[in-house]
Amino acid sequence: MDNLKRLVHSHLTQAGALPASTSAQELQTVVKRVNVELDNATRTAPARIREMVTENFKSMGWDAPRKARSTGANATLFTVAKYVQTLEQLQEDLSNWSPPTAPTPEELNNLSLACNRLWELDLHRLVPDRDYAVNVQGGKFFSDTHDAAAEPLFRYVDEGCLNQPTFRAFVNLLDNYTATTGSAEVVTSEEMSENRRFLGLIMDTKPMQYVHQYLVAKGATKASTREAFIQELYDLWFGLYRRKVANDSSAFEHVFLGEIAEDKNEVTGFHNWIQLYLEERKGDFDYRGYIKPRRRGHSSSAPHSQEQLITLSFAWRGFIKKVSSSFVGTSPEFEVALYTLCRFCGGQENVVQCGPYKVLVTVHTFPDNPRPGQRVFLGSSFPGEAPLEEDEAARRIQSSFTHKMANKKK
């Protein structure tokens, strides 16, 4: 959202330098180029933001679907002065807009609608092919052991995006843990302060405010105040528990950083793209290809660099994880909000909509079989591609068959 505001401000500055004598044809070229940039910038934005852009440019006689000046528009509207006014109004609309965080009755009765709302509220999500690009390379099946990717997963990430407050606070937590299970964590007062600072910052965002209101409305939490809910989040995400020895694990460590089980020679958890990128940049993460079959959220013609959900295989610090999954480009607050919501209001497997993706959000509690009265922790939570429905599977099979027959005729 901040990037969009900066983009509009930049174009407004440039518009102010256009001579008043600019012809309609020259102005059409400028407006078309600006609309292409705004389309790209708002591709993953809430629908209302895209509507704002369309409505404002329509007021000056621009036909967004045709990407041209409206044929029936009043010629006096399509001027440099009106173009400047359009950008000024769009800038004001964006500055004044704030997405509502109160869940609707429909969302309270449908977890998938609520999760999709979280996606729309993720205003700090990175834009594919602008803020980052991935290189998915070769795919393989779960049982395959070979490395199907010779190059890193990330082509680039705009690290300026990682300086957003919640991102920066999240990154500050990543060096607070020992990756090996069986090594007890020692949490210092400084680390506790970092944890609370992170929770305080994400509670200032729309996804977490929505989840808090949702849980209160559903009676899933008694923490009606911000302070009480932050404490509940602290216990949920940073409360230590025993996997092998006392206090050697937590939900935050497992889900977002990952853990290494040396006795099994494997990685567990590790479902966050920021940690993945930073470890790959350091040389400690080796991407080994995506897992087939791959269900794409965007159209099949969209560049693979635009993926925002990936199931993959990798090695971390020399230890293998045959199959894992992660969102890409999403904000820390979105992921904490999504997994918290599914923990309190969902089951172990939750098929939900998140923007263009039909996602299977899995939630594991710990221990698996608690004794009566024993405290239950969040063991893990992660996204995955939802299984194909029957009609989707049929279409994919038909498409594959048609493609093979077409190749035989060549």
Q: Which of 292-301, 313-322, 323-332 has the lowest mean pLDDT?
A: 292-301
Q: Cα separation of 168 and 252, whole Å? A: 16
Q: Cα separation of 123 and 100, whole Å? A: 12
**Mean pLDDT across 289-295:** 77
The residue among 298 and 314 whose pLDDT is bigger is 314
Q: What is the pLDDT of residue 103?
A: 96
Band of residue 56 on the pLDDT scale cut at 50, 70, 90: very high
To the query of whether residue 321 is one of the catalytic residues in this protein, the response is yes
The residue among 121 and 47 whose pLDDT is bigger is 121
Band of residue 72 on the pLDDT scale cut at 50, 70, 90: low
For residue 230, what are its two tokens? 């932050």
Contacts of 95 (CB under 8 A, 6+ apart): 5
The residue among 122 and 74 whose pLDDT is bigger is 122
Band of residue 274 on the pLDDT scale cut at 50, 70, 90: very high
157 has a pLDDT exceeding 70: yes
297 has a pLDDT exceeding 70: no
Q: What is the pLDDT of residue 118?
A: 97
The residue among 144 and 276 whose pLDDT is bigger is 276
Catalytic residue, candidates 222, 271, 322, 358:
271
**Mean pLDDT across 211-239:** 97
pLDDT tens digits, 321-334: 999 999 999 999 99
Distance of CA 266 to the CA centre of its chain: 26
What mean pLDDT, rounded, does the chain reach? 89
408 has a pLDDT exceeding 80: no
Q: Which of 18-22, 50-54, 256-260, 403-407 has the lowest mean pLDDT?
A: 403-407
Q: What is the pLDDT of residue 61?
A: 87
Q: What is the pLDDT of residue 93?
A: 93
185 has a pLDDT exceeding 80: yes
91 has a pLDDT exceeding 70: yes
Sheet holding 266-268, edge to edge: 139-140, 285-291, 309-316, 319-327, 266-268, 259-261
Catalytic residue, candidates 282, 321, 322, 408:
321
To the query of whether residue 32 is one of the catalytic residues in this protein, the response is no
Band of residue 407 on the pLDDT scale cut at 50, 70, 90: low
Q: What is the pLDDT of residue 151?
A: 96
3 has a pLDDT exceeding 90: no
Q: Contact at 8 Å (CB) between 32 and 38?
A: no
pLDDT tens digits, 161-176: 999 999 999 999 999 9
Q: What is the pLDDT of residue 409?
A: 58
Q: HSE, CB side, 13 Å, CA atoms: give it for residue 372.
A: 0
Catalytic residue, candidates 140, 254, 292, 408:
254
To the query of whether residue 11 is one of the catalytic residues in this protein, the response is no
Q: What is the pLDDT of residue 296?
A: 55
Q: What is the pLDDT of residue 124?
A: 92
pLDDT tens digits, 348-392: 999 999 999 999 999 999 988 888 888 899 999 999 998 866 655
Among residues 33, 23, 6, 35, the alpha carbon closest in space to that of 80 is found at 23
59 has a pLDDT exceeding 60: yes
Q: What is the pLDDT of residue 398?
A: 57
